[in-house]
Structure 1
Amino acid sequence: MDEITVTLLATGLIFVLLALGAPVFAALALAGVFGIAMVEDLGFVLNRLKAYSYTQSAVYLLTVIPLFILMGNLAQEAGVGQRLFNVARKWVGHLPGGLAVASVLTSAGFAATSGSSVATAATVGAVAIPEMKKAGYDRRLSTGAVAAGGVLGVLIPPSVLLIFYAALTEVSAGKMLIAGIIPGALSTLIFIVGIFALSLYAPPSSARPERYGWRERIVSLKEAWQVNVLFIVVLGGIYLGLVTPTEAGAVGAFTAFLMLMFARRRSGGLWGAMQGSFRSSITTTVMILFTMLGAGIFSYFLTLVQVPQLIAEYVTGIDAAPLLIIGLLLLLYFPLGMFLDAFSMLVITLPVMFPTVQALGFDPIWFGILAVKMCEIGLITPPVGLNVYVIAGIDRDTPLLDIFRGAGWFVIMEIVTTLLIFFFPLIVTWLPDTMMGS
């Protein structure tokens, strides 16, 4: 059987397995095994798989993933989300759509302590949605704002997805993390502007929210000290070259643990919070690693049949502007985001796309931020939009379709941000280029 036919059959098998309800990592792994067996033989497959899981996961850089996840879980247990929302509400709650803006600001702040989009959406959703319900906010705006705010967790460092991209492409993990700061701030700003525009067009609530004085607002800032400390310890250490990303993850997790110790003063509270944090961190880490292994097997099959090389040669030979080619590659994330999670998308696409990006001479850091932005969009688009399902689990009174409709406004805002980054690469590259020792 020729290689093109095998590739088409293996790709089709993924969607068949997904339609039958197989987990994403299993569908990718089985399709990859099928493809390799067709090209080589079953003995070759078994020989390659003997040590595959170890060689792919026993990577020093990957140890930062559970550390960043643990840091976020400990920060969540320490009440960081509730405090941040209280601060944001006092500053912007009285404005049109102010509570929705406060939820986005809280998401941005919590994202600086957690590398997980789902954790950000769940933490902020549990705090912000009940408050917006009480204020009579349009349920589509309130749930959509929190679902979209959660995507900041994969862009604003410390982001697990940015570390994942760095591990797959062997670019600097430190530079990838620092590169996410300005795009993350830009995304937050565009969300805020978008919410104001929506609120002026169709006011989310007729209620008159409480307005706080300047003294109360300034005093409230002390409640955000935990985020500031973690931001300085983790990102400040990486930017100044004092610690590696893995060391920063360890220091950040320990700092969050100290915060939890001081936050939990009741008998038994600390131990229960630690158990929950460790359990959640283990579950999320295992999910990420299994996805990486399953998608890695399929990407190994693609490499075996030389799909990445063939596509890179074909694309670089097209008589078109290189920027247009990169744009077309990024558009592939739209249909993929409808069926796959962010980690699967990166593992499947990067072996194909990254050689092309390098051959065309583009900055891999810039492309990485764009790829992560496209993955963000997949988190709030149907039918797989993971953040939307998280919010649906928190707010059971709002139909899933309404949450997707609310998130749809923010998909447009995400596209605007992505276009700005696409046409102005300096948004991404300036800060990493100023790093100590870069």
Structure 2
Amino acid sequence: MQKLIYILDDEKEIRKTLRAILEDEDYSVEDFANSKSLMKSLSKDRPSLVLLDVWVGKEDGLSILDECKKLYPNLPIVMISGHGTIELAVNATKKGAVDFLEKPLSIEKVIQTIESSIEKTKEGEFPSFRLDVDEILGESSSIRRVKFAISQAAETNARVFIYGENGTGKELTARAIHLNSKRKQEPYIVFNCASLPEEGLESELFGSETIIQGSTSEVKIGKWEQAHNGTLFLDEVCDLSLAQQSKVLKAILEQKIERVGGKDYILVDVRIIAATNSNVEDAIREGKFREDLYYALNVIPLELPPLRERSQDIPLLAEYYLKKSIAENNLSHKIIDREGLDTLISHFWPGNVRELANIIERLSILVPGDTIRAKDVKEALHGFKKANEMVARGDLKHAKEEFERQYIIKTLQICEGNVTRTSKALGIERTHLYRKLRALNISVDQLIEG
């Protein structure tokens, strides 16, 4: 996988030259002219290294360095300057910069510095940390990064915004933050923002008061109030209407709520963790998500890697889900052979860990004998087998169609046949999805029945 380098410099020619040099060395490069655009990208992705100018226009690069380190304490940052001094270099090093380059830049020196800086931080990327409760399986660097972020977030009351595809473990991650925090003995409440229609959502979230007769009222305690002193996990937060987003923002900022039909405000102490599989920036640009709510929630951003980007964890996950299925279904002992594991590792996994768990359970139940082989795995992943055959024949058009068909089917299965949820997960309009279903001959009814 290509290493990602971020460049922050207000001089366009410097950015252009550095980009050309690094892309020739097979790095992936993003460049920025100001700190705002850099920090936006850092909130979504962690690069392998940042090249940071000491002065970006009127912005102090050392202050920007501090902001970068708040997000990623071990991110290697190399400072560059046209007016280098020993004092400046020492200050940058004290603040966490791994090296200091002076302009005019030497191509050889730039490449050498980047390579050595990435190598130096690779082994010691994460300082020692411990989770009291660790239910997240995996030892890949991307999962260790997630666990380190959980340990950092758990020590604070800061709001966390979790990003990730369906099936990557957003709820598991939110629960891990709560169970490792000082609030772990207090309530942990989950609320799916896409689970209710608009009219019922507000009372479910904030509670309600209904006058029965005279001065007697019936009180329903909402999720927010139930989470008092604990943690409230707002899943699929981008599915809230703009009106509800406004009320959520107010509750977050004021730390008080008003029940539907109630007259008094109720003070609440709640730690908010939110999650989405949507592209938040697109939603903001389209006027579907409030930018101020995004900034309120996005104090600590946490990006969960898809399974295809941490394939080294698949054997560990497969073994866990196989043992789990055998125990739950009272089955005889089984193992997956090496070729079977290789087949699992090479699969694309659009449904991520959730899809893997379902495939393993299917194999544990349907495969006779005590060994699950590659042919068994391929049969369980039958839809993708046809796509692979088309690729082998060079039939790109039909291979793309078959892949798209299977991707939509898998997403429909994950969303339990709900077309609205599926269209959101795929990032397309519902009417467009219906056209796709007809064109690709996908029957939702048969899918659910099957």
TM-score w.r.t. the length of structure 2 is: 0.20
Q: Which structure has the highest helix share of the two?
A: 1
- Highest Rg: 1 or 2? 2
TM-score w.r.t. the length of structure 1 is: 0.21
